[in-house]
Amino acid sequence: MPRPPKWRRVGFIPEVTFFKPAGIPLAHLEEIRLSVEEAEAIRLKDLEGLEQEECAQKMLISRPTFHRVLGSARKKLADALLNGKAIRIEGGNFEMAIRRYKCGDDGEEWDVPFEKIVTGLPQVCPSCDNPNVYPVHAPGFGCAGRRGRRRMGGGL
Ligand SMILES: [Zn+2]
C-alpha cells in the first residue's frame, strides 16, 4: 500500500513560478524543482522571519518535518543560485490556508479557512443555504477531488 500523501497547509501560491539565470538558453539550463510547500517554508522562515515552531504550526506539520522541508528548499535554492540553474516552483501536496468557495445556485463567493475544511463539514452557501457549492481555484493550478485537494506533478 502506498503511503497516503501528507497534506501541508500553505498560505499562498507564488504568482511567478519560474526563474532563470540571464543569458543562458533554456535548452542548456538545468532546472531545480521547488515544491509549493518548500516555497512556503522559505517564505515563512526566511521572508517573514518566524520561528520554526510557528512555521510548523502554520503548515500543520511537525517541527522536524518543517526542518526537513526548509533544509531541502534552501539546498535547492543554493544549488540554483550558485550553479546557475533555473528554478521552477510546482508540485507537492498542499492545501491553501483559505479556500474560496462559490455557490452553484446564486454565484455567491466566500472564503472558508483551512481549519474548517479539514473538519469535513459539508459547506453550504451562506446566502441561500444551498449545498451545491464548489471550490474556486487559483488560476493555473489543477485540482482533483471534491474537497479541492491538490496534488501536482513532481511530489516532494
Ligand atoms: Zn447560494
Residue 95 Cα, ligand 1 centroid: separation in angstroms? 24
Share of the chain above pLDDT 90, in %: 38
pLDDT of residue 150: 47
> pLDDT tens digits for 101-128?
889 999 998 888 766 766 666 678 989 9
The strand pairing partners of 125, in sequence order, are none
Confidence of residue 90 (pLDDT cuts 50, 70, 90): confident
Retrieve residue 60's grid coordinates.
500543520
Neighbouring residues of the ion ligand 1, judged by CB less than 5 Å: 103, 105-106, 108, 125, 127-128, 130
pLDDT of residue 156: 42
pLDDT of residue 146: 35
Q: Which amino acid is at 78?
A: A
Distance CA(137)–CA(100), nearest Å, equals 7
